[in-house]
Amino acid sequence: MSLSRKDIDEIMHLLEASRFDRLSLEMDGLKLELVREGGARGRGASTSPTRAEAVPAAMPAPTPAPTAPSRREPVEGRAQAEGLVEIKSPLLGVFYRAPKPGEPPFVEVGSRVEADTVIGIIEVMKLMNSARAGVAGEVVQILGENGEMVEHGEALMLVRPD
């Protein structure tokens, strides 16, 4: 799979719409790194990326950037203390809680879920991917914001398992 200019433009748009300042993508020998100038939205940041470059995978990896503030840290402690299970995002992309705009969300706080229950959609480059609960129980907290960028492995919801 290769990336076209249109794909890169869409990825840049996703970064602009997200709360993240940096995105690194490696696939099939291509390394793409996008950095947004000035930090996250709401801090007077520019909405255009300052750099978009594609480099061969053989190039040395760039120094890791400081990570954006994460919602995960307080969640992990709560989940552990209360015996809750995190439903994690299977992909990096935009999280949607409902199948279409204006429709009710797949699940709400208090909903019962089974392992195969669809709890949301992750959009990656115009492809909609179902996110499943992976656990049976009751939804206790919804962490993923509708229409916001989520990272792979980021907690989307907390479930009290059966």
User: Residues 83-116: pLDDT tens digits?
Assistant: 899 999 999 999 999 999 899 999 999 999 999 9
* Rounded Cα distance, 31 and 92, in Å: 16
C-alpha angle 97/112/155, rounded to 5°?
A: 50
Q: How is residue 20 written in tokens?
A: 């993240």
Question: Is the pLDDT assigned to residue 147 strictly greater than 60?
Answer: yes
Question: Is the pLDDT assigned to residue 48 strictly greater than 80?
Answer: no
Residue 51: band (very low, low, confident or very high) from pLDDT cuts 50, 70, 90: very low
Question: Is the pLDDT assigned to residue 133 strictly greater than 70?
Answer: yes
- pLDDT number for residue 93: 92
Question: Is the pLDDT assigned to residue 1 strictly greater than 80?
Answer: no
Give the DSSP H/E element, type plus range, for residue 12.
Answer: helix 5-17
Tens-place pLDDT, residues 122-131: 999 888 999 9
Across the beta sheet with 155-161, the strand order is 85-88, 155-161, 137-142, 112-113
- pLDDT number for residue 103: 94
